């Protein structure tokens, strides 16, 4: 638990926080000037320091080198004193534990620098062992080139010791690498230390520049976290160093760690500029949900179409042309890289409406493999709901994907309506698509709107949620897509579709219906009060572990019932002693 550190915003495992000292500092940050080391207990026994509200006191500790046997650690372990001022404990990644402090310094982090897997294992072991609302600090590690990755992994604070030492060694640091001073004909920086003639630039100047460059990069990282786009930045930044790329990919393989901390939605666009994007949590989560939760409810053929640059797809010129040929006589699913397949009902969900990818007309082997795998899983789940598949796709990439899946999925007949070398919006292609659907009945507006609402509920809450949530309701939809309002037979509003994210925002009546249904729920149990505006973490008694930031949650307590949007993941709500757990949307007093 902590009294002196609070998280204000999250971007996956990266956090924008605040060290609540006399002069607060926004993290991720440099903290050299804030750390007061009370010293090692190996040299002599030390008294508990008096502490300082303006500093972060590193409590007396015993440091163990990497590889120290557990029995030795246990024999020489010391209890961390309980203090009432801002404090930090020193930990080893081989034996991390909750010491009740506001921050933790990872003693052996420096030995893992340069080794992607070792670094990730050290940070994750420590981050999982300490409370979610405490700060993780690394000493002797940060440089302008790697600090974005440190923040992405969950590091909240660093010092400039490594950057300073490199400067005194004559190594000039930038965000893309380091240079020996003698190799630089000019200084590629405009910081104060570099505003001298090249011949007057000393190693002391170099150390000052390195500190300035690190501070500037941390400012960039903080802004990227605010924008929800640190990963986009990191995919480019990590390319400058092999171990950073390796560490990023190792983090991507730690699904449970990143997925728990990654919001289900955000305002920021998702930039798909490299093949590393395919491994992002948002991409993998979407592919998993659409192939394990989504249910096709249309009794119609399936038409596979290419995606469009404009989002949502139905607003694009090409998809309007497809619609004019299809006229609601088939279920439309778009094929796209990097997210796989997008059923028409989910076109506004995150990230289907929010990604932007590089368009070259050529698909990489990784893209083809990933999208084909998602399409195959989708068809294996939904094959018995379609009478046939009509592939209205061009040659490049798309047709290869569909043909590969056709060979792997049994029981479905595939027809292709775009001739070799033709484009899906050519008059002949559109005419062939319309002819293929001749005689198929069109499904009504009521059916497609109801199916959209149920599909979004499935996607957000879990397999079967759309049917379970509205099982006992004579469902009605009003307003216009994509701002559908969900009502019952008595015209009571239950939910509203949020077009920016493709989610459902429940009313109190909808929340009660959810609480009483068989649909999977996400509950936050609170203490005996009626929340107004926000539920702070200290008021949370318990929370479901599958809650993610952005989820719709039920809030229940002895005196209140309501519905809210999660601002923390479930475990974080329970562990934290500061910060907003969820934002109340509607509440009633019991």
pTM, two decimals, is: 0.92
User: For residue 275, what pLDDT band results from cuts at 50, 70 and 90?
Assistant: confident
User: For residue 2, what pLDDT band results from cuts at 50, 70 and 90?
Assistant: confident
CATH architecture observed for domain 446-589: Roll (2.30)
User: For residue 1, what pLDDT band results from cuts at 50, 70 and 90?
Assistant: low
Residue 157 has what pLDDT?
97
Residue 318 has pLDDT above 90, yes or no: yes
Q: At what angle do helices 203-227 and 161-168 cross, to 10 degrees?
A: 150
User: How does strand 29-30 pair with strand 56-58?
Assistant: unpaired
Dist CA 368 CA 349 (whole Å): 23
User: For residue 255, what pLDDT band results from cuts at 50, 70 and 90?
Assistant: very high
Residue 233 has what pLDDT?
93
Residue 85 has what pLDDT?
92
Instruction: Dig out the tokens for 514 from the structure.
Output: 């959810």
Residue 41 has pLDDT above 70, yes or no: no
Residue 66 has what pLDDT?
67
Q: What is the pLDDT of residues 365-409, one digit of tens each?
A: 999 999 999 999 999 999 999 999 999 999 888 999 999 999 999
Domain 5-161+230-259: CATH superfamily, name plus number: Queuine tRNA-ribosyltransferase-like (3.20.20.105)
Residue 493 has what pLDDT?
97
Percent of the chain whose pLDDT exceeds 90: 81
Q: What is the pLDDT of residues 43-81, one digit of tens each?
A: 777 778 888 999 999 988 777 766 777 777 777 777 778
**Residue 211 near residue 158 (C-beta atoms within 8 A):** no
Q: What is the pLDDT of residues 129-167, one digit of tens each?
A: 999 999 999 999 999 999 999 999 999 999 999 999 999
Residue 45 has what pLDDT?
76
Residue 356 has what pLDDT?
87
Domain ranges of the chain: 5-161+230-259, 270-436, 446-589
Dist CA 557 CA 552 (whole Å): 17
**Residue 476 near residue 489 (C-beta atoms within 8 A):** yes
Q: Burial code of 130-149, b = ≥16 C-beta within 10 A, e = fewer?
A: bbbbbbbbbbbbbbbbbbbb
Instruction: Dig out the tokens for 227 from the structure.
Output: 């924008």
Residue 503 has pLDDT above 80, yes or no: yes
Mean pLDDT of the chain: 93
Q: What is the pLDDT of residues 473-498, one digit of tens each?
A: 999 999 999 999 999 999 999 999 99
**Residue 397 near residue 368 (C-beta atoms within 8 A):** yes
- Which residues contact residue 344 at a Cβ distance below 8 angstroms, ignoring those fewer than 6 apart? 313, 314, 331, 332, 333, 334, 452
**73 vs 285, residue with greater confidence:** 285
**Residue 104 near residue 130 (C-beta atoms within 8 A):** yes
User: For residue 42, what pLDDT band results from cuts at 50, 70 and 90?
Assistant: low
Average pLDDT over residues 431-452: 96
SS percent in the chain: helix, strand, coil, step 5: 40, 20, 40
270-436: CATH topology is Rossmann fold (3.40.50)
Residue 466 has pLDDT above 90, yes or no: yes
Residue 398 has what pLDDT?
94
- Which residues contact residue 30 at a Cβ distance below 8 angstroms, ignoring those fewer than 6 apart? 142, 157, 158, 159, 160, 211, 214, 215, 218
């Amino acid at each position: 638990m902590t009294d002196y550190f609070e998280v204000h915003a999250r971007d996956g495992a990266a956090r924008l926080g605040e060290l609540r000292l006399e002069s607060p500092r926004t993290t991720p940050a440099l903290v050299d000037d804030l750390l007061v080391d009370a010293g090692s207990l190996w040299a002599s026994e030390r008294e508990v320091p008096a502490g300082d509200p303006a500093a972060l006191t590193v409590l007396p500790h015993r440091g163990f080198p990497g590889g120290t046997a557990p029995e030795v650690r246990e024999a020489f372990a010391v209890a961390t004193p309980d203090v009432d001022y801002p404090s930090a404990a020193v930990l080893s990644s081989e034996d991390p534990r909750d010491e009740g402090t506001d921050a933790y310094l990872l003693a052996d982090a420096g030995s893992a620098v340069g080794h992607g897997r070792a670094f990730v294992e050290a940070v994750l072991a420590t981050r999982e062992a300490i409370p979610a609302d405490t700060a993780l600090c690394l000493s002797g590690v940060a440089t302008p080139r790697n600090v974005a990755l440190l923040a992405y992994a969950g590091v909240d604070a660093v010092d400039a010791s490594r950057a300073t030492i490199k400067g005194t060694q004559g190594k000039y640091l930038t965000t893309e690498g380091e240079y020996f001073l003698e190799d630089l004909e000019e200084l590629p920086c405009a910081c104060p230390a570099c505003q001298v003639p090249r011949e007057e630039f000393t190693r002391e100047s170099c150390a000052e520049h390195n500190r300035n460059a690190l501070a500037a990069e941390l400012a960039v990282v903080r802004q990227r976290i605010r924008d929800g786009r640190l990963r986009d930045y990191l995919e480019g930044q990590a390319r400058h160093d092999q171990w950073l790329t390796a560490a990023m990919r190792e983090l991507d393989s730690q699904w449970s760690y990143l997925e728990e901390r990654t919001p289900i939605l955000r305002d920021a666009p998702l930039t798909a500029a490299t093949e590393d994007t395919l491994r992002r949590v948002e991409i993998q989560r979407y592919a998993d949900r659409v192939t394990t939760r989504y249910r096709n409810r249309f009794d119609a053929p399936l038409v596979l179409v290419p995606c469009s640059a404009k989002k949502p797809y139905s607003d694009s010129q090409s998809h309007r042309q497809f619609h004019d040929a299809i006229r609601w006589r088939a279920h439309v699913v778009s094929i796209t890289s990097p997210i796989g397949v997008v059923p028409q009902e989910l076109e506004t969900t995150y990230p289907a409406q929010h990604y932007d990818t590089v368009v070259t007309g050529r698909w990489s082997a990784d893209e083809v493999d990933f999208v084909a795998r998602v399409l195959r899983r989708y068809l294996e789940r939904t094959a018995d709901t379609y009478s046939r598949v009509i592939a209205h796709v061009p040659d490049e990439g798309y047709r290869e994907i569909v043909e590969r899946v056709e060979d792997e999925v049994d029981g479905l007949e595939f027809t292709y309506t775009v001739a070799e070398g033709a484009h899906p919006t050519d008059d002949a292609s559109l005419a062939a698509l319309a002819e293929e659907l001749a005689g198929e009945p069109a499904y009504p507006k009521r059916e497609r709107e109801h199916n959209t609402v149920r599909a979004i509920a499935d996607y957000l809450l879990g397999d079967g949620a759309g049917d379970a949530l509205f099982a006992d309701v004579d469902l009605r939809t009003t307003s216009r897509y994509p701002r559908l309002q969900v009502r019952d037979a008595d015209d009571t509003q239950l939910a509203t579709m949020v077009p920016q994210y493709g989610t459902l925002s429940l009313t109190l009546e909808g929340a009660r219906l959810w609480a009483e249904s068989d649909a999977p729920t996400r509950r936050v149990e609170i203490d005996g009060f009626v929340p107004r505006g926000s539920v702070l973490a200290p008021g949370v008694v318990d929370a479901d572990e599958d809650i993610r930031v952005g989820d719709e949650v039920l809030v229940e307590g002895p005196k209140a019932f309501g519905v809210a949007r999660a601002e923390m993941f479930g475990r974080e709500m329970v562990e934290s002693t500061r910060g907003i757990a969820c934002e109340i949307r509607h509440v009633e007093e019991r």
